[in-house]
Amino acid sequence: EEDGYDLWLRYRPLAGAERAAMLRHARELVAPAAPSPAVQAALAELRRGVQGMTGRLPLDGKQAKAGAIVLGTPASLPPSLRPTGLEQLGDEGYVIRHRASVTVIAANTDAGLLYGAFAWLRAVGTGLAPDRIDERSAPKLQRRVLNHWDNLDRTVERGYAGESIWDWWALPGVRDARYLDYARANASLGINGTVLNNVNAKPEILTAPWIAKAAALADVLRPYGIRVYLSVRFSTPLELRETATADPLAPEVAAWWRGKADEIYRAIPDFGGFLVKANSEGQPGPQDYRRSHADGANMLAAALAPHGGIVMWRAFVYAAENPVDRAKQAYDEFGPLDGKFAPNVLVQVKNGPIDFQPREPFHPLFGAMPRTPLMLEVQITKEYLGYATHLAYLGPLFEETLQSDTGHAPGLTVARVVQGAQAGGRATGMAGVANIGSSRTWTGSHFDQANWYAFGRLAWDPRGSSRAFAREWAAQTFTRAPGALDDIAAMMMDSREAVVNYMTPLGLHHIMGTGHHHGPAPWVAGLARPEWNPVYYHKADRGGIGFDRTASGSDALAQYAPAIARRHADPATTPDTLLLWFHHLPWDYPMPSGRTLWAELVARYDLGVAQVRALRTRWAALAPFIDARRHAEVAQRLDVQVAEAGWWRDACVAYFQSVSGLPLPAGTQPPA
């Protein structure tokens, strides 16, 4: 019975001609003598895959003969098998080619061979004939990192997939077999780093017992090319009572962090570095001592630099002192620090200026800090998009951010900024807030696995296509039957826009239930911190609705490059997807559709509900193509989503109507 545990690495039996072809072209595996752990991992995966698909275990071969898959680096491959152009593929790239009945997987390093092995399995898993695979690929970003918001008590902040997969209590002695499957899944996508603990970090993570636990995980993940990183709390030495201050410029503080870094690297020689949330949402930071983010980040960076570690310093900052527009704070604090960060610091910026909403414009810092490496942070876990019950494929959301033109230079998209086009490629990376837990499906639902998948594939190639990744994922995870595969991919591609429509159409944002962020609550107004109240974001009143971020309002628009600012200063040239993000408009504002704004808003809510109903109908029709258990588990969630989409629509329309005082437009659907 299919339960989803195998993710996209299912390797189910092939039949007929497909099986015969696989048997013919994967008879033997040839690897360099004395294979490293990474090459052993590659071989183990190829054996698992071929055996799963054919029922027969490939032999261990010695030389390249017909039917062999040969893995090798320039040092191990005979010249006749050495592909040209390997030099351009760097430390992690690979080449796969098939000539004269021999498949060669070549790379400059063993990590590249591992990625090549997974790429070969992906190619056959998506239906390519083994003698037709011809691929050459190298990652465009250096650091492709999951951020686990996992607490030390095994709860997970914004986690909807059970408790943390890190069984902290049993570590370091007990190394759950699941860690290995976690490593395989990540390596199959090219994810090469993982931050083990929550950005809201505890000092304990840097004490000896916890370093030992992290080291045990690092040992399991290392053969798969995955480095371990830790989130650290800025005041750790002070709170552990090992210093009298946490002032980053105090010599005793810098010395403490240097000693701590040395201690970590003794246990984890390839430790990746620190992720830091400072002076945000009540976390301590350098500003507590009137120092800047750069002062804080550079002090930590100096401790890590001798060991090759990095600091990922988050730009997600906001405080109640900014009652006018929270969206402006990161730019205001970080913009002036451009060029002030040490070379091994990356500033990690969320995709948008508020907080992982179903839709946001790209963050204005992208393109505005040309001398600082910026890392993109996206949220894979669906805090604001219906948790793990709603179907919302996030590939299009990630792609929309990456493809956004920052307007700071011709063709300077967010993807190009993140790839280091401005900061000279000094350090590059992308982070995804993980949706992984100890749930049998890993992610709390079958379709949420696709969000992990899309993140990994886009971190490897930020210019990749979310549609292509949806098809790849669905082919490996569900079915390769042509019509069914088209339908599943189409459902996925429609799903995020449906969520936008039934939750926050036309640029509305952050009107979810406060605190937990599930379900509608646009009416909430009484919370102490202004920016915790949904009314702060939609600003609906008798006269109209929306957040004026033009010069007549908060002027957050001025943080964007002139071309972008100009286009969005006028509602007529603002895309309707972001209309109420940037403008406060009267209810009778005429929309391009010919409807008034009020009628358009109601129509979008209706559309969102209709789109989810359509997803349910399409899924029902796919029953013949999907195994019973997984089909039923998805169907149940779609039932919940239909009900909750109706809840969103009815609650929001009723509330906004109570404010606008307008009658429902003709043709509005009755309540769900």
In the complex, the smallest distance separating the C-beta of residue 199 from ligand GCU, rounded to whole angstroms, is 5
Question: Residue 105 forms beta bridges with which residues?
Answer: 71, 96
Instruction: Provide the 3-class DSSP secondary structure of residue 61.
Output: strand
In the complex, the smallest distance separating the C-beta of residue 355 from ligand GCU, rounded to whole angstroms, is 5
Buried b (16+ CB within 10 A) or exposed e, 636-672: ebbeebbebbbbbbbbbbebbbebbeeeebeebbeee
| Residue 321 burial (C-beta neighbours within 10 Å; 0-12, 13-18, 19+) | exposed
> What CA–CA distances, in Å, run from 272 to 200, 229, 372?
19, 5, 19
Which CB, 383 or 606, lies closer to ligand GCU? 383
Instruction: Provide the 3-class DSSP secondary structure of residue 30.
Output: strand
The torsion angle over the Cα atoms of residues 209, 210, 216 and 221, rounded to 10 degrees, is: -170
Q: Which of 110, 325, 360, 383 is catalytic?
A: 383
The torsion angle over the Cα atoms of residues 436, 440, 445 and 446, rounded to 10 degrees, is: 100
**Positions that interact with ligand GCU (CB under 6 A):** 157-158, 199-200, 277, 316, 355, 383
Is 383 among the residues known to form the active site? yes
In the complex, the smallest distance separating the C-beta of residue 414 from ligand GCU, rounded to whole angstroms, is 18
| Residue 279 burial (C-beta neighbours within 10 Å; 0-12, 13-18, 19+) | buried
Beta carbons of 578 and 568 less than 8 angstroms apart: yes
Which CB, 316 or 536, lies closer to ligand GCU? 316
Closest to 234 (Cα-Cα) out of 199, 285, 279:
285
Strand order in the sheet with 94-99: 59-61, 28-30, 68-72, 102-106, 94-99, 135-137
Which CB, 149 or 605, lies closer to ligand GCU? 149
Which CB, 138 or 146, lies closer to ligand GCU? 146
Which CB, 36 or 514, lies closer to ligand GCU? 514
Q: Residue type for 122, please?
A: R
Which CB, 200 or 465, lies closer to ligand GCU? 200
Which CB, 157 or 163, lies closer to ligand GCU? 157
In the complex, the smallest distance separating the C-beta of residue 297 from ligand GCU, rounded to whole angstroms, is 16
Which CB, 514 or 657, lies closer to ligand GCU? 514
Question: Residue 150 forms beta bridges with which residues?
Answer: 156
Element (H, E) at 136: strand 135-137
Listing DSSP states for 139-159 in one string gives -S-SEEEEE--B-TTS-BTT-
In the complex, the smallest distance separating the C-beta of residue 200 from ligand GCU, rounded to whole angstroms, is 5
In the complex, the smallest distance separating the C-beta of residue 624 from ligand GCU, rounded to whole angstroms, is 41
Beta carbons of 651 and 517 less than 8 angstroms apart: no
Which CB, 156 or 415, lies closer to ligand GCU? 156
Q: Which of 262, 281, 541, 588 is catalytic?
A: 281
Question: Residue 70 forms beta bridges with which residues?
Answer: 30, 104
Q: Which of 355, 377, 497, 644 is catalytic?
A: 355
Beta carbons of 52 and 12 less than 8 angstroms apart: yes
In the complex, the smallest distance separating the C-beta of residue 365 from ligand GCU, rounded to whole angstroms, is 15
Instruction: For residue 8, give both structure tokens.
Output: 């996209």
Rounded-to-integer distance, Cα 344 and Cα 371, Å: 13
Is 2 among the residues known to form the active site? no
Instruction: For residue 418, give both structure tokens.
Output: 């993140």
Which CB, 83 or 386, lies closer to ligand GCU? 386
In the complex, the smallest distance separating the C-beta of residue 541 from ligand GCU, rounded to whole angstroms, is 26
DSSP 553: T
Is 219 among the residues known to form the active site? no
Listing DSSP states for 352-402 in one string gives SSSSS-SS-PPPTTTTT-TTS-EEEEEE-S-TTTTTTTS----HHHHHHHH
Backbone φ and ψ of 415, nearest 5°: -60, -45
Listing DSSP states for 113-132 in one string gives HHHHHHHHHHHHHTT--GGG
Q: Where are the alpha helices (DSSP H) in 226-328?
A: 236-239, 251-267, 293-304
Which CB, 150 or 383, lies closer to ligand GCU? 383
In the complex, the smallest distance separating the C-beta of residue 314 from ligand GCU, rounded to whole angstroms, is 7
Pairing of strands 143-147, 193-195: parallel
Which CB, 157 or 494, lies closer to ligand GCU? 157
Q: Residue type for 590, please?
A: P
Beta carbons of 28 and 69 less than 8 angstroms apart: yes
Beta carbons of 662 and 544 less than 8 angstroms apart: no
Indicate the angle between helix axes 482-503 and 466-477, nearest 10 degrees. Answer: 120
Q: Which residue has 């010599």 as its token pair?
A: 251
In the complex, the smallest distance separating the C-beta of residue 156 from ligand GCU, rounded to whole angstroms, is 10
In the complex, the smallest distance separating the C-beta of residue 517 from ligand GCU, rounded to whole angstroms, is 7
Which residues does the annotation mark as catalytic? 281, 355, 383
